Every structure is written in structure tokens, then in C-alpha cells.
Structure 1
Amino acid sequence: MTLTDAYDVRDPELPGTLLAAERDALIPLLRSRPDADFALRTACPGWTVRDVLAHCGSALLRVVENRFERGVYSPESNDRDIAERADWPVSRIVDELEHGMTEAGPLIAKAGGVLDMIAVGEWVHAGDVREAFGEPGAYGGDRLAYALPLLARISREKDHVPLHADLDDRDEPLRFGGAPGDRPPARYLGDAATLIRLYSGRPLVGTRYELAGAGEKELNLFG
């Protein structure tokens, strides 16, 4: 079985592993920054670092508390969650996020796959925060080893645009998206962090890559 084939098999522990690894890297960084840094703008339109973290913490709390009312995770729902935390001190927002990143993994594992994308989204938002802070490794680093297989499998489950990715920083090509069918797989050549930017609709300024057979916007899995 190749690495790409292995990505087709769901590892229920992988989302929680990604969350825990990101927690151990992100939370100390957040606690080391002055409150003023949480007002910095991020790649998410209209959202500051504080807003991103409030959204991340509330999204995970919904998993922990099993609160999935109609319209959950819609733009309107996300804005309400952020507004509810507008008066919180930064330390409380970070505490909630740490709690969620610790407790949500086992519950995501038991959900059968329908919540796996939440773990990927949390990791991408951690990249948004790093980029806003000017920290290296946004959308990259050691956690790619967990994020890439999750993203590859989710993209296939969603029958997304088929893509063959030759990554500069990975030994083996990866397959994303659904079966090729009548459409030949698109091809990507570049680093993994830039591929994450494409799949999450993040800014591509300063990146270098080749993409043939698909448009940039077609790859965006986050809407």
C-alpha cells in the first residue's frame, strides 16, 4: 500500500493528534504575545487575531458540548460566536481554545468523519495567526504530517477536483480529490504550505508554484 492509498483509510485518531500537536505549539506562542497583537488583521476578511481565536474556541466548544443547531458554522453563526466573546479578556479566549483543542479530539474521532474538517480548519486558522504575527511556518511545519492526509482524504470524500501533487518537501506524490473520470487530474508542483493556501483560499503573495489543469479558486475546499 502506498502512502497515498493509505490516506483513503480514515484514522479516527488523526484529527485529535493534529489538534493536540497544534495546541502544544500555538498556545505558548499566544501566551507570550502582548494583548495589542491580538488586534492585528488576519487573512480572514474583517477578522483580527482575536476574532479568529474566538471563532476557533467556540467551534471546538460546540463539538465538546454537542451543540449543532441549525445554521451552525455559517458566517452568521460564526459572527454571533465572536460577538458573544467581545468582552472577554484575551486570556479567557486562549483558555477556551486550549480546552477545546484538548477535549474535542476524542469526540471528533467518534463522529465517523463528519467533523474531521474542523480539525483541519483549526490548524489552518493557526496558520492565519502565525502569518498575522509575522511568525515563520504559517500553514507548514511538523503538523503538515497530520494535516496533509486529512486534507487528501476529505478532498476525495467530497469528490473535489482531482489533483496530482508533486511536493518539493515530500518524497512521494499525493493524490487529492475524486476519481479523474472524464477530467484528467490537475497537476501541482510546489511546496506543501502553498498547496494548503490554495485549498484554504489564503493569499498567495510571495509564493512560487505551478498549477495546470485547474484554476486556483477551484481548489478552495473552505468555500
Structure 2
Amino acid sequence: MRAGAATVWEDVHAERRRLLDDLTGVSDAAWRTPSLCPGWDVHDVVAHLVDTARTGRVSFVRDLLAAHMDFDRANARGIARHKRDDPRATLGALRDAVDLTRTPPVNLATRLVEAVVHGEDVRRPLGIPGAYPARAVTQALAYQLRTPVTFGGGRERAAGLRLVDRSTGESWGTGEGVAADAVDLLLAVSGRPVPQERFDGPGAPRLVLAAQPVPTTQQEGDR
């Protein structure tokens, strides 16, 4: 079921708080750990989350024009703008922005994609388990499946596959079956590496291959 705006923001704000809790007290080395997002370490992802939390419709357009319509460049500038010398200061900036409801002129579901996918970008390399509301994960997955890769989605990655949430039996698409936890399906569709043993079904190898990361920052609506 598609959640309304108030529910989306409730989930996004709660996820920001959980990430803050998970990263408070991590070691200095942890901040330099490569994330699942190609080319970014954990500190970069947090700085990006600060940037997107503070980006509204006008500032998004302004920043994109300043970057000559280059999403990679706009994202890099956003990270540079908010990445502090001390990662804990960057985390503090995220804490200050935790309850903001600003968003670029895109579908609000992209905020759920960002919250879950970037949460796992950070948590999985650090060995921190993540837990997300089922409604947030399934709405994010549904959005990614109907959105082309060129617009930050993952439609092409799942072409010819029937994705099945093994917890609920809910499914998307037609073709060779792939069953997994919804969060793993979301990550794969979003171009993140997920071990093949997390998937079942004849379509699993195709999805894992399609999910191989590419060096781009234009994913899930902004990366």
C-alpha cells in the first residue's frame, strides 16, 4: 500500500535517527570504510544525506544548473559543502537536519529509497544490522521498478523477472522468479552488490549480474 506524505516523512525522520544512533561512537577507521555506493566512503554518504536533507526544490534546480546539469558534479559539490574535517561534526549536521521535510522536485518515494538504500550503503560494510518498516521498503522498491536507471531507478535491472518478497509473498513483474527479503531486492534493483545466496529462484543470477555497481552518482533520484 502506498503511504501518504505524512507517513513517508515519519519513516524518513525515524530512519535518520536510527542511522545517527548506529554511527554514534564508531571508530575513526569506520568513517573511511568504502560504502556500497561506488566511489563513496561512509563519511561521504553521511555528508550526502546532510546535503539532500537540506535541499529543497529551488536549491536543487539552482545547484543542478550550477553543475551544468551534471548530477555527478552536483552530488560531489553537495558532499564537499557538508563534509567536515571531523566526521562527528558531519554527523552532528545530520542531527540538526533530522526533522527537515525538504525535497527536490521528484516523487516523494525517492526519500524512502534514499533512507533505506543509503542506510544499507553504510550499515552493511560496517556489519551493522538494519531494520526498516516493511511499508517503506516496498514503496521504495515499487518506485525503483517503475523508474528507468537513467532517472535513478532500476527498471531495466529487473526486466523479465518476477521479484517476490519472501516474507509476504508480494510480487512485482513477470518472468523468471527471484525470491528474497524485500530490502535485498531493493538494493539489487538500485544497483548495489548483494550476495547471490540471499536470493532464490531461476532469475537470481540475472538479477545479481544486473545489480553490479557502475561508476555513477545518479542513483535513486539523486544518487
TM-score normalized by the length of structure 1: 0.73
* Unaligned stretches of 5+ residues in structure 2: 213-218
> Is the alpha carbon distance of 1:214 and 1:130 closer, same or farther for their aligned partners in structure 2, counting shifts above 3 Å?
closer
> Is the alpha carbon distance of 1:24 and 1:207 closer, same or farther for their aligned partners in structure 2, counting shifts above 3 Å?
same
Q: Does 1:166 align with 2:164?
A: yes
| Map of 1:150 onto structure 2 | 140
Displacement, 1:202?
A: 1.0
> Is the alpha carbon distance of 1:203 and 1:67 closer, same or farther for their aligned partners in structure 2, counting shifts above 3 Å?
closer
| Map of 1:82 onto structure 2 | 79
Cα displacement string for residues 96-130 of structure 1 (whole angstroms, at most 9, x for unaligned residues)? 223333112xx44x96x634313312321111111
Aligned pairs for 1:184-223 (under 5 A) are: 184-185=174-175, 187-205=177-195, 206-210=197-201, 212=203, 215-216=206-207, 222=220
Contact 1:21 1:143 in 2 (8 A): no
Displacement, 1:153?
A: 4.1
Contact 2:163 2:172 in 1 (8 A): yes
Aligned pairs for 1:1-20 (under 5 A) are: 6-7=1-2, 11-20=4-13
Q: Tell me how far apart the structure 1 counterparts of residues 178 and 132 of structure 2 sit (CA, whole Å).
A: 21
Q: Secondary structure at the match of 1:102?
A: coil
| Map of 2:20 onto structure 1 | 27
> Is the alpha carbon distance of 1:74 and 1:146 closer, same or farther for their aligned partners in structure 2, counting shifts above 3 Å?
same
After the TM superposition, list the runs of 4 or more consecutive aligned residues in structure 1 that deviate by more than 6 angstroms.
none
User: What count of residue pairs does the alignment treat as equivalent?
Assistant: 201
Q: Secondary structure at the match of 1:42?
A: coil
Q: Secondary structure at the match of 2:5?
A: coil
- Deviates further, 53-62 or 148-157: 148-157
Which residue, 31, 38, 49 being the options, matches 1:45? 38
Letter in 2 for 1:114: N
| Map of 1:94 onto structure 2 | 91
Contact 1:186 1:212 in 2 (8 A): yes
Cα displacement string for residues 203-222 of structure 1 (whole angstroms, at most 9, x for unaligned residues)? 12253332539943667974
Q: Tell me how far apart the structure 2 counterparts of residues 118 and 93 of structure 1 sit (CA, whole Å).
A: 20
TM-score normalized by the length of structure 2: 0.73
Q: What is the RMSD of the two structures over their aligned residues, measured on CA atoms?
A: 3.3
Q: Secondary structure at the match of 1:204?
A: coil
Q: Tell me how far apart the structure 2 counterparts of residues 61 and 211 of structure 1 sit (CA, whole Å).
A: 42
